Structures are given as structure tokens and as C-alpha cells.
């Protein structure tokens, strides 16, 4: 038994159905483009920080020099001397028989100061010490001379950092604001 359709199509009576295709409206497309734009802006601004070389700060350079000089003293088992070259703006350290290294200092000024101040002078409204140390020594046991460092960075900010003579680490002091 063969079943046939109730209304078979006739050659002269073909009806075309217009099928509606699935598509996005203009508003939907604009919303997606706006969201992609916002995400791209956030990504580009965040990624540019990753690729941009971070400029080293004056205090970071100072602590890198202190750490490197202390490490050289520990490794070589001898006294290492750290000094600041004012003409070249470099921190330099070397041992008695071992060659040291240098590090560029990005600030304007660096002075090594004794732990107890002897004399002060008022320069340009800033209280400055008159007896800076020429060098600081680091010992094979990990200790160093007791000293403070007075830094002036590229933005003319002055800071005084105290160094613990037993560990050569920063001494944290309370500040009054």
C-alpha cells in the first residue's frame, strides 16, 4: 500500500515560503562592539605597564647597593667598602682583594651619615649635617658600620634612612603626620 500526500504540489501552483534567517539586530551588534572596546581599553592600559620599564627609585638603588656590598662581604669573607661617587652618580663597592661592582644612582644626592649627628647647618631651609662619612664598611659576619643615608631623589624629596648595623637592614621609624 502506497500512501500519497493529500495535496500534492502541482507544477503550476508552487508556493514559496520566505524563510527568515536568524540574524543580529543593529542594537545587539553595537552593544557587543562597545563591550569589546571597553575590554580592549582595559587590557591595553594594563598590558602597557608590563612592557614599560620601571624606573628605579633612589631608595631602591641605595638598598640594592647595600645588599650587594653585604653579600660580597659574606661571599668573599673579607671587609667590603661601599662609597658614593658624586661625579658619576654611582654606588661603588669592592673588597680588599675582590673586585666589586657599580650601580647607577638615579637620585640627585646621597650622603652617608654617622648614627649620631655632630654638626648641623641650615641649607635652603633644610637641616643638613656637616660631617658625612666617605665610606661604609661591610664585614664578613654580615654586619656593617652603623650609619644613616640621606637621599635626595629626582623630585627633590629628601629622606633619611637608618640602617641597622647588625643586619644591614632598614630601621623602621615612626613618622608624625
Domain-located, residue 44: no
Alpha helices in the chain (DSSP H): 26-51, 58-76
Q: What is the pLDDT of residue 6?
A: 59
Range of the domain at 149: 58-163
3-state secondary structure of 127: strand
Q: Name the β-bridge partners of 71.
A: none
> Grid cell 508556493 — which residue?
15
Q: For position 4, what pLDDT does the model report?
A: 56
Overall pTM surpassing 0.85 (yes/no): no
In a domain, 49, yes or no: no
Which residues, given as ranges, of the chain have pLDDT below 70?
A: 1-20, 49-53, 116-130, 173-177
Any domain includes 124? yes
- Looking at the domain assignment, is residue 156 inside a domain? yes
CATH number of the domain to which 108 belongs: 3.55.40
The predicted structure's pLDDT at residue 148: 87
Question: Per residue in 9-61, pLDDT tens?
Answer: 566 655 556 566 788 899 999 999 999 999 988 888 777 766 666 778 888 88
Rg (CA), the chain: 36
Give a yes or no: residue 63 inside a domain: yes
Distance (Å, whole) CA 113 – CA 131: 7
| Residue 106 resides in a domain | yes
Does 103 map to a domain? yes
Number of domains making up the chain: 1
Note whether residue 18 is domain-resident.
no
Burial class (CB in 10 A: 0-12, 13-18, 19+), 69: buried
Q: Which residues contact 113 (CB under 8 A, 6 or more apart)?
A: 129, 131, 132, 133, 147, 148, 149, 150, 160
Amino acid at each position: 500500500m502506497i500512501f500519497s500526500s493529500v495535496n500534492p504540489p502541482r507544477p503550476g501552483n508552487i508556493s514559496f515560503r520566505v524563510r527568515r534567517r536568524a540574524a543580529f539586530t543593529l542594537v545587539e551588534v553595537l552593544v557587543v562592539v562597545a563591550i569589546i572596546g571597553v575590554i580592549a581599553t582595559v587590557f591595553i592600559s594594563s598590558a602597557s605597564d608590563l612592557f614599560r620599564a620601571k624606573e628605579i627609585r633612589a631608595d631602591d638603588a641605595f638598598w640594592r647597593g647595600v645588599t650587594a656590598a653585604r653579600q660580597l662581604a659574606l661571599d668573599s669573607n673579607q671587609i667590603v667598602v661601599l662609597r658614593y661617587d658624586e661625579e658619576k652618580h654611582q654606588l661603588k663597592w669592592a673588597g680588599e682583594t675582590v673586585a666589586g661592582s657599580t650601580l647607577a644612582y638615579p637620585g640627585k644626592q646621597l650622603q652617608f651619615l654617622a648614627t649620631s649627628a655632630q654638626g648641623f647647618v641650615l641649607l635652603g631651609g633644610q637641616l643638613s649635617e656637616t660631617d658625612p662619612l666617605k665610606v661604609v664598611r661591610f664585614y664578613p659576619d654580615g654586619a656593617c658600620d652603623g650609619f644613616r643615608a640621606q637621599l635626595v631623589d629626582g623630585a627633590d624629596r629628601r629622606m633619611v634612612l637608618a640602617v641597622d648595623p647588625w643586619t644591614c637592614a632598614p630601621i623602621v621609624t615612626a613618622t608624625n603626620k
